[in-house]
Structure 1
């Protein structure tokens, strides 16, 4: 029985074999394109999830390798598009609610935002806070932080991702309130 036919029939043993045979290659393919181990791992996992979920639509006349790399490429494109849209939305919100610096209320809101950010940083576990501060306040690259703290680049990326998530959660209500106050 060929691999594609076995996958279409839902054969988990064949899927595991495909996964273990191709995961590293897919990972390094994405890593080469993005230079981010975090994105490479995410896209590699999504590639195999999609391969399994849409196994019935795999082409019988193409080999598994070609189809996996096609899925990986389109998954990467989708992932990067979503990231770009998210970043554009964040920039738009920041620009929309940035107030002139000579405005009393704007200065007050900026000062309060700085206090809230400091509070959010205080709530973080020490290593997450240290990694975030080294990245955002000292401008260090993930590799530099990893080297200085004897961590893997993946761990550094995870700490930064979790820190941003925690800050967004912590500041969410405050930013919503600011948006409501300054919507006019």
Structure 2
């Protein structure tokens, strides 16, 4: 670690906001470009950089001044990118399961040419939900959280969570029936 950086880290460890800002200015662009090279999404890369610096601030007291700070930053960033890909993989697996269960001919499922269109439509319908409903639905159906966990996290009642889930399922069922995509099976999938 270069001497200037070592002093900056010492100030950061004491909770000095200006030291934190200088570190952010020094490294944020490099971390953004590093993240972007993996994620190919500006928004996702920006989220990763924000996550990294939130972690740096929260764990500032534990940062070691005898090790390379830059290596530490890039290790945290790489771990955040891996976490992002793992989450994306889980989301895609859930979407795959939904579409598979909607398929009337499961034996021909992998050969369906409209599979990506179905995935895109599902994602589009979820994105069109009102913001709070979309958040509740995603936390329950994609992240697998309980109604109680969601209620506590969002500071709403369990009844409100139930309402949003019920409305989400009704909306998706109606839209998939309108599109003639076996909405009853889709609804059943989400009731389980």
TMscore range, shorter length: 0.5 to 0.7
Structure 1 residue 166 and structure 2 residue 128: aligned? yes
Distance 1:16 1:37, change over 3 A: same
| 1:30 equivalent in alignment to 2:35 | yes
Tell me the TM-score normalized by structure 2. Answer: 0.55
1:57 deviates by 2.1
Give the corresponding residue for 2:54.
49
Write the distance in 1 (CA, Å) between the matches of 2:88 and 2:61.
Answer: 29
Equivalent residue in structure 2 for 1:60, among 59, 65, 88: 65
Unaligned runs of 5+ in 2: 1-5, 107-117, 138-166, 174-182
Aligned-residue Cα RMSD (Å) equals 3.4
Structure 1 residues not aligned, in runs of 5+: 102-116, 118-135, 138-160
Contact 2:9–2:19, Cα closer than 8 Å, also in 1: no
Change in 2 beyond 3 A, CA 1:7/1:163: farther
Q: Count how many residue pairs are aligned between Structure 1 and Structure 2.
A: 128
TM-score (norm 1): 0.57
